[in-house]
Amino acid sequence: MDVPRIAAAGVLILVVLLADSGLLRGESLLEVRRGPESGTVILEGSGRANGSHRLELGYGLEDWWPVFAVRGTAEWSWDWDGVGDLREGFFRLVDAVPPVIASHSSLKTEITLPDDDFLSEPLGGVGPRFEQVEVRWVKFALIMDGLPRVYFQKTADYPFHFDFATERLSPFLGMDLEEFNGVSLFRDGQEIVLGAVLWAPQREEYGIQLVGQDAYPREMVRFLYEAVDGQLGKPAGAEGFYMPTFEQTRAAERDRTYFSNHGIEVSSPERWVGGSVCYAEGWALGRLVFVRGEEIEEAYANGDLLPTDILLTDGVPAEVPFVAGIISLAPSTPNSHVAILAQSYGVPFVYLREPAEQERVTGLAGHEVVLR
């Protein structure tokens, strides 16, 4: 059976026919053949010895996402067990030169739970009405042309991804916020993937989050999760979860069975929370306005949500415009961009867990309230 061939310098594309072997040649080499077990395919390739070799999957010839990567070797092999998860697909082999990242005390490529000094200090609830939730975290970045390497940032030095990447990761040095958001938060033109590892010491559990305004394909999430998980030193028996951020939640719920079949359990920080949580102290007086999480930006632009308002929402996205206070009906995390900014500016930010309290507060929407 013939295999369609599309070749360019350093990039190879083929249709996964799951039949006869397909061999493509260019600056790199990629061979695809059936695996010994049903539903598996073996992909073998070679290229630059100092390169980052990544396989990208796509359902067309325009949208691609990484599913495997290796670096520091001229030859590699990968047993792919995802045949049963798609009817037909395309693979693209990208042979890239990884960026040179200068060593620094604020970055490293692996961490050890639970006592790594790159982790944040525990931050829990504040006040008698809120539960103490001792969650620690560390943020990370994966550069697309340097996959599968993970760069962890020291929380005490760099609480935000932007500062870390634009000061320590060579492809992004000197970028302004708009430029950096353009290459980190959206699938189109994405050059870096951001995320965080959460550690709950009382439960000996950890969660891995991936940040992005666009939902990541499930195969990409699996690859990134496993890449990060492989760089974590963990206590025996520690259990890990994929904890999707607000923007990733709907897709993660849809693909929950896929993840479970591949050994990844989907959960949320709510598993660590028994009551309401205060992410940032402060007080505010203002109009209580309910806006769904996915509609916050639009409501702010239209003037339906004002800087003087207290936001009541069913979920907190990665970016929230400045408001007087935030009440969420769904749990967030203390490492979120919104939580850290709220702490910095004294903007009260709470999660209300009890249904009766949620109902009472929702009934106050449209009224002037005090949040403290």
Q: In this predicted model, which residue has the larger pLDDT, 11 or 112?
A: 112
Q: In this predicted model, which residue has the larger pLDDT, 33 or 286?
A: 286
The confidence score (pLDDT) of residue 3 equals 40
The confidence score (pLDDT) of residue 215 equals 96
pLDDT digits (tens, 9 = 90+) for 131-152: 566 789 999 999 999 999 999 9
Q: Are 195 and 140 in contact (CB under 8 A)?
A: yes
Q: Considering the chain, what percentage of its residues have pLDDT values greater than 90?
A: 62
CATH of 5-96, one of 3.30.70, 1.25.40, 1.10.287, 2.60.40: 2.60.40
Between 217-221, 276-280, 287-291, 346-350, the lowest mean confidence (pLDDT) is in 276-280
pTM of the model as a whole? 0.85
pLDDT band with cut points at 50, 70 and 90 for residue 234:
very high
Instruction: Indicate if the pLDDT at residue 259 is higher than 80.
Output: yes
Instruction: Indicate if the pLDDT at residue 125 is higher than 90.
Output: no
Instruction: Indicate if the pLDDT at residue 25 is higher than 50.
Output: no
Domain boundaries of the chain, sorted by first residue: 5-96, 107-272, 277-371
Between 111-120, 278-287, 335-344, the lowest mean confidence (pLDDT) is in 335-344
Residue 342 tokens, joined: 């709220």
Between 16-20, 91-95, 288-292, 306-310, the lowest mean confidence (pLDDT) is in 16-20
Provide φ and ψ at 351, rounded to 5°.
Answer: -115, 125
**Alpha-carbon span 347 to 341, nearest angstrom:** 8
**Residues 36-60, buried b or exposed e (16+ Cβ, 10 A)?**
eeeeebebebbbbeebbbbbbbbee
pLDDT band with cut points at 50, 70 and 90 for residue 274:
confident
Mean pLDDT, the chain, rounded, equals: 87
pLDDT digits (tens, 9 = 90+) for 33-57: 777 776 678 888 888 888 899 999 8
**Alpha-carbon span 217 to 58, nearest angstrom:** 10
Instruction: Indicate if the pLDDT at residue 11 is higher than 50.
Output: no
The confidence score (pLDDT) of residue 22 equals 37
Q: In sequence order, which residues have a C-beta less than 8 Å from that of residue 267 and are 6 or more positions away? A: 207, 241, 242, 243
Mean pLDDT for 63-69 is 93
pLDDT digits (tens, 9 = 90+) for 170-221: 999 999 999 999 999 999 999 999 999 999 888 899 999 999 999 999 999 9
Query: What is the third-level CATH fold of 277-371?
Result: Glucose Oxidase; domain 1 (3.50.30)
Q: In this predicted model, which residue has the larger pLDDT, 317 or 19?
A: 317
Q: Considering the chain, what percentage of its residues have pLDDT values greater than 70?
A: 87
The confidence score (pLDDT) of residue 127 equals 47
pLDDT band with cut points at 50, 70 and 90 for residue 9:
very low
Instruction: Indicate if the pLDDT at residue 331 is higher than 90.
Output: no
The confidence score (pLDDT) of residue 334 equals 82
The confidence score (pLDDT) of residue 23 equals 39
